[in-house]
Amino acid sequence: MARKHRGVLVGLVLGAALALPLAGQRTWIVDSANGPGTDYLDIDAAYAAAGVGDTLVVRPGNGMPYDLPAAITRSIRIVAPGPSPVPVRQRCHVQNVPRGDIVVLDNMDFSTESYNAYLTPRDCSGLVIMSRMYASPFVVGGAGTVLNSDRVVLTRFRNYPFGGPALRGVDSNVWVIDSDVRPYYSSGQPAIGLRGGTQFTGTTARRRTTWLIGSRIEGGIPHPNGLTGPDSGVEVSHCDLLIAGRSTILGCAECGAGTWCPSNPLSRRYPSIWRSSYSPPDPRASWLVRDPNTTLDNCIRPSVGYELVREFPAVLPGEAIRGQPQSILTYGPTNSIVAVFASFVHGEEPVKLSVGDVWLDPYLVVAIGNAAVATDRTATLHTTIPTWLKLGDVLVYQATSLSPSGQWEISQPGFAVVRDP
């Protein structure tokens, strides 16, 4: 099945692209080493000159950190299209991005500037995609705080913080896809007081949701003074949590104050998931919907509230490297058939259907292929990324599943930013 569908993305997208222009406009080259074709030496200067919808391609340069703009307020794509992230510094807010606009930030390393680099989406109605972000143990806040925003996607996000929480969402809809969020490890164990974990809070005025898809979330060790962040894997309050795609959520284990000992059966184990203790029908109660293939090393506390365990589809695309094969891992209900579709990302709101939200561009959708899931409920499809795609193009993928009972469902989206080898 996979061989049959290899190359579909090349053929169908090429045919459609002849009739429809791509969304991007001008591409600017940013290179601190001032190599051939360089337009600007730093990111903040290039952003100031760029127009709405432009792309900044950031080269490795001389190895010194690039300065981010203090604020990003319009459609822009800032991408480092190679295999390794570029170091960045500066406290940057992605803020007030209007509905319909798209901000894409790809392949940045915040580990070089202790206490002096973070990236915070806030007050955004548009779509913000943060891909291949790495935040070190010495970055407080790092790339992991989202405030009052409608659609923020973190894909292939890696955050190992000095202080917790590693990822925090406040009054926001957040997608955490194929990501790894855990405390900083030293000598094989989490450093004391360096908490990982995540916190997501909403309000009674607006219902917010967090999706964890194919991700690993781990709580950290509490400090004896109790001053740092969460020790549960996920803390959720006043918002809903949906978990899919074989995610792993671990609570911290300790024998005593600040002592890590997960192998000790007498150790204190913090909950994998801690949620606000409001009982239905209280509107503050959080929905928890999780796939049964989710790994939890401990309990969910408190045990009140809405909870639903069921099988549903998910899609995790591999990296989109120009001219190379791409593998797309999908999940579906037991004995189901899954199909995968892709398009360029667009800024319009997803179309809401009873079987799921549609993120695909209705004017340009590519069928990647279909397959029956294996006994572990997975199927892997393959395609090839065209060489003519632009660096910084973003592909969005969705899987559909058809169960033996006739139930049809659409997955949450997966994303891949086009890059070079």
How does pLDDT run across 158-208, given as a tens digit for each residue?
876 655 567 888 899 999 999 988 765 544 444 444 445 677 887 766 778
Write the CATH number of the domain with boundaries 25-309.
2.160.20
36: CB partners within 8 A, 6+ apart: none
Beta carbons within 10 angstroms of residue 103's beta carbon: 22
Fill in the amino acid letter for 311. Answer: E
How close are the terminal C-alpha atoms of the chain, in Å? 26
How does residue 104 score in pLDDT terms, banded at 50, 70 and 90? very high
Cβ contact 312:293 at 8 Å = no
**Residue 304 CB contacts under 8 Å (≥ 6 apart), including other chains:** 277, 278, 279, 280, 285
Q: Say what percent of the chain tops pLDDT 70.
A: 74
Read off the pTM: 0.88
Left if phi > 0, otherwise alpha if psi is -120 to 50, otherwise beta: which for 156? left
Which residues lie below 8 Å from residue 282, measured CB to CB, with a gap of 6+? none
Please give the helix or strand (H or E) that residue 115 lies within, else none: none
- What's the pLDDT at 10? 47
Domain span(s) for CATH 2.160.20 in the chain: 25-309
pLDDT of residue 257: 47
Distance CA 174, CA 215 (A): 13
DSSP state of 321: B
Q: 19-39, pLDDT tens digit by residue?
A: 344 444 899 999 999 999 999
Confidence at 214, pLDDT banded by 50, 70, 90 = very high
Count of CB atoms situated within 10 Å of the CB of 390 = 16
Read off the pLDDT of residues 292-314 as tens digits, 9 standing for 90 and up: 999 887 667 666 567 889 999 99
- Contact yes or no for 164/197 (Cβ under 8 A): yes
Q: What is the pLDDT of residue 183?
A: 67
Question: Residue 229: which pLDDT band, with cuts at 50, 70 and 90?
Answer: very low
Residue-level pLDDT at 317: 98
How many whole angstroms separate alpha carbon 124 and alpha carbon 25? 22
* Percentage above 90 pLDDT, the chain: 54
- Residue 105 contacts residue 127 (beta carbons within 8 Å): no
Residue 19 is predicted with a pLDDT of 37
Instruction: Give the CA dihedral 139, 144, 145, 148, nearest 10 degrees.
Output: 160
Model confidence at 366: pLDDT above 80:
yes
CATH classification of 314-417, choosing from 3.40.50.1100, 3.30.420.480, 2.20.130.20, 3.40.50.620? 2.20.130.20
For residue 180, give both structure tokens. Answer: 């790894």
pLDDT at 255: 47
Residues 377, 363: Cα–Cα separation, whole Å = 31
Domain with CATH 2.20.130.20 in the chain: 314-417
**Worst-scoring range by mean pLDDT, 85-89, 95-99, 235-239?**
235-239
